[in-house]
């Protein structure tokens, strides 16, 4: 029978009469129906708190369904009416000793939800008893209750010995209990200032054994906890990854992505390249399978895949066709696929990729078309052997005369000119035919750069620039800067053609604009031209640095951080969690004799300087500058012993623990003093 009939506004006195009725009520059917009406009214936002004496009287009924509704009523109103919860304490004490394990678990769970000091005090002893209960359902409920209690009073949990009890539950015979204990310890470790969870290989092996008998969410919790394992011996990471690999075939996408995260993490501790290559082969099929799910799951998978392929591009190098866009894909999925297609493009598959991009450039969705056109230009910059074909494709698109297509094409052609000077200048004439179609600042700036860069090859370059100068004062700063530089280039290359334009532009830039960058550049050019034209030529026409698509790559330190947060919001936002979650602990690779040398560029090591920009609060550093900050010389891994690497990482960890402590408003003076004792951070580490 449907419960929809209960969702009707009930009168308080009628509900009270029904609860206190003296009529025979076999199996408490009438009271159950009345309590359902009360809960339904609570759900609709109606105030039922005046019924609390009558509802609490029902706690004595030894029926699980009745107790569930009474406890739900208590949880809902206990915060606003703490006296209501105090009256229920005797019943709680009876229920935690009830022969029925469901009632014992329900009582301990409800007490964990009620944030009233006296109830919390009464919870300590029953909770400790329930964590050793004979029934696994009670034990797993008690494990989660510890995590809830930690949110209310973290010092109480630490001082009452609940952390040690949770640690003992990791070797419980029931997999569900193990999963909940792991979830609680992980949550506490992430939120605590001085508790750091560490798992050794023996415990990790037992946790992996429990995976087969856990629910899908229990598997996710256990896999997440394996991120706290730091392999110390050769072969540890390989063995653990092999045992986790079967989870990649799970039907639940959360389990799959969490398994991928753990394996990618463990690959940092594998010594042999062939072992990493084998793991990459195993990661490919599950990642591809994610793309057969619904569009939302596809998008989550694509954002995570984009991170993985930047670190291990070989994982999906043979599966690029999977990322070709379908006609019915949502736009957000198409955009994510385009980025991965570009990342996976190589000399072996570039023909296929270019053909796809040309098709996409004729679609009707404007944003998608822009992204496709820009990807063609980036492809030319990335792979030199296909640059000619990419330029030809862009010229075909320009001839379509579609406004936004033409403008995007001009923007990327500017980059191609910079990458391959003196190779494709023959197309400038065609570009100049489309000047009237330019109305976007980026496209205008790109075209102006081309005119200035090749002012000596374009016969009417002075006339073209003069046309742009008519609206100089109304243009955006980006266009104004481009016009200023292009005009100076024209004057240097063709003095007679630019001698009338330069004074006018310099006067505007220095006297009639408010932007300091534009004004400063104008003064610099003016002084250079008025004192030493040769020096001006050397500066303005100096050789440009080569461009490459490597500038599109994510910062290696940030990438390493995000790879440790796969299957979370960080992996979707592509932002470190510390940027949007207050007081979140940073994650980084812990030193170990088996840790591979990380290639972060010349002499780059994960330490304080590398992390500083990731963990600032919107650019405002709230860290006390007087705190002692570790200083480590930037050496490459090839120049460092393991002890030096470990010292650098430990110093970095202490630095950020101090920073987190300084930013944490919940820390007491006692805690802060303990944390800073001896000039370092006293971590309460549990090496299990």
Domain assignments of the chain as residue spans, ordered by start: 198-305, 550-666
Which pLDDT score, from 0 to 100, does residue 608 have? 35
Which positions of the chain have pLDDT values less than 70?
1-10, 22-25, 550-551, 598-688
Which pLDDT score, from 0 to 100, does residue 584 have? 84
Spatial distance between the Cα atoms of 103 and 473, rounded to a whole number of angstroms = 77
Which pLDDT score, from 0 to 100, does residue 598 have? 65
Which pLDDT score, from 0 to 100, does residue 524 have? 93
Q: Which residues pair with 686 in a beta bridge?
A: 197
Among left, alpha and beta (phi > 0; psi -120 to 50; other), residue 566 is beta
List phi, psi (to 5°) of 685. -90, 140
pTM given for the model: 0.79
Angle between helix axes 501-511 and 461-469 (nearest 10 degrees) is 30
- DSSP 3-state assignment of 99? coil
The CATH number of domain 198-305, selected from 3.40.50.2020, 1.10.287.70, 1.25.10.10, 3.40.50.1980:
1.25.10.10
| C-beta neighbour count of 205 within 10 angstroms | 15
- Using CA atoms, how far residue 522 sits from 118, 205, 480, 525, in Å, is 72, 67, 11, 5
641 close to 623: Cβ distance less than 8 angstroms: no
Which pLDDT score, from 0 to 100, does residue 6 have? 56
Q: Where are the beta strands (DSSP E) in 547-604?
A: none
Lookup: tokens for 231: 């392999």
576 close to 562: Cβ distance less than 8 angstroms: yes
Q: Is the dihedral of CA 21, 3, 59, 38 positive or negative?
A: negative
List phi, psi (to 5°) of 412. -80, -30
307 close to 563: Cβ distance less than 8 angstroms: yes
Spatial distance between the Cα atoms of 505 and 41, rounded to a whole number of angstroms = 72
- DSSP 3-state assignment of 160? coil
- DSSP 3-state assignment of 196? strand
Which pLDDT score, from 0 to 100, does residue 650 have? 40
Which pLDDT score, from 0 to 100, does residue 619 have? 37
Which pLDDT score, from 0 to 100, does residue 9 have? 58
């Amino acid at each position: 029978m449907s419960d929809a009939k209960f969702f009707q506004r009930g009168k308080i006195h009628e509900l009270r009469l029904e609860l206190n009725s003296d009529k025979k009520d076999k199996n408490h059917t009438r009271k159950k129906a009345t309590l359902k009406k009360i809960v339904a009214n609570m759900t609709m936002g109606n105030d039922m708190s005046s019924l609390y004496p009558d509802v609490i009287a029902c706690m004595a009924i030894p029926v699980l369904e009745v107790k569930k509704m009474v406890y739900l009523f208590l949880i809902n109103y206990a915060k606003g009416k703490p006296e209501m919860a105090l009256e229920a304490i005797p019943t709680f004490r009876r229920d935690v000793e009830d022969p029925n394990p469901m009632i014992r678990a329900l009582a301990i769970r409800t007490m964990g939800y009620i944030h009233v000091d006296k109830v919390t005090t009464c919870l300590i002893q029953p909770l400790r008893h329930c964590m050793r209960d004979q029934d696994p359902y009670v034990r797993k409920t008690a494990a989660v209750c510890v995590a809830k209690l930690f949110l209310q009073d973290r010092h109480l949990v630490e001082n009452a010995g609940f952390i040690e009890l949770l640690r003992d539950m990791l070797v419980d015979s029931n997999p569900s209990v193990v999963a909940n204990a792991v979830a609680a310890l992980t949550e506490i470790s992430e939120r605590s200032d001085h508790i750091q969870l560490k798992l050794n290989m023996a415990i990790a092996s037992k946790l992996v054994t429990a995976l087969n008998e856990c629910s899908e969410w229990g598997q996710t919790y256990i896999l997440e906890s394996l991120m706290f394992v730091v392999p110390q011996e050769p072969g540890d990471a390989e063995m653990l990854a092999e045992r986790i690999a079967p989870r990649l075939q799970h039907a639940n996408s959360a389990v799959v992505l969490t398994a991928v995260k753990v394996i990618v993490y463990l690959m940092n501790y594998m010594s042999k390249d062939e072992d990493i290559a084998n793991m990459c082969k195993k990661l490919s099929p599950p990642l591809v399978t994610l793309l057969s799910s619904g569009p939302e799951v596809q998008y989550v998978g694509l954002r995570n895949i984009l991170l993985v392929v930047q670190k291990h591009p070989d994982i999906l190098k043979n599966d690029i066709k999977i990322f070709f866009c379908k006609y019915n894909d949502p736009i957000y999925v198409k955009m994510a696929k385009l980025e991965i297609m570009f990342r996976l493009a190589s000399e072996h598959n570039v023909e296929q990729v270019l053909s796809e991009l040309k098709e996409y450039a004729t679609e009707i969705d404007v944003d998608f078309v822009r992204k496709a056109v820009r990807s063609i230009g980036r492809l030319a910059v990335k792979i030199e052997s296909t640059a000619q074909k990419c330029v030809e494709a862009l010229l075909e698109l320009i001839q379509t005369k579609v406004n936004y297509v033409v403008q995007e094409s001009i923007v990327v052609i500017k980059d191609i000119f910079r990458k391959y000077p003196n190779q494709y200048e023959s197309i400038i004439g065609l570009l100049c035919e489309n000047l009237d179609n330019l109305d976007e600042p980026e496209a205008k700036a790109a075209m102006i750069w081309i005119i200035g860069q090749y002012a000596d090859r374009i016969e009417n370059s002075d006339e073209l620039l003069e046309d742009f100068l008519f609206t100089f004062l109304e243009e955006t700063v980006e266009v104004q800067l481009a016009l200023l530089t292009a005009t100076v280039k024209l004057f240097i290359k063709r003095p007679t053609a630019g001698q009338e334009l330069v004074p006018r532009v310099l006067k505007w830039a220095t006297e009639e604009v408010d932007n300091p960058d534009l004004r400063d550049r104008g003064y610099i050019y003016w002084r250079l031209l008025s004192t030493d034209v040769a020096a001006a030529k050397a500066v303005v026409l100096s050789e440009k640095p080569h461009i490459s698509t490597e500038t599109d790559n994510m910062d290696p330190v940030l990438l390493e951080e995000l790879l440790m947060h796969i299957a979370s919001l960080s992996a979707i936002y592509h932002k470190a969690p510390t940027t949007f979650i207050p007081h979140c602990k940073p994650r980084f690779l812990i030193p170990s004799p088996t840790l591979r040398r990380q290639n972060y560029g010349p002499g780059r090591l994960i330490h304080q300087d590398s992390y500083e920009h990731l963990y600032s609060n919107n650019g405002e550093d709230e860290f006390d500058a007087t705190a002692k900050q570790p200083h480590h010389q930037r050496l490459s891994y090839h120049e460092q012993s393991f002890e030096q690497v470990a010292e650098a990482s430990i110093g970095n960890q202490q630095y950020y623990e101090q920073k987190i402590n300084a930013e944490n408003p919940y820390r007491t003076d006692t805690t802060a003093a303990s944390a800073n004792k001896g000039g370092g951070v006293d971590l309460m580490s549990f090496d299990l």
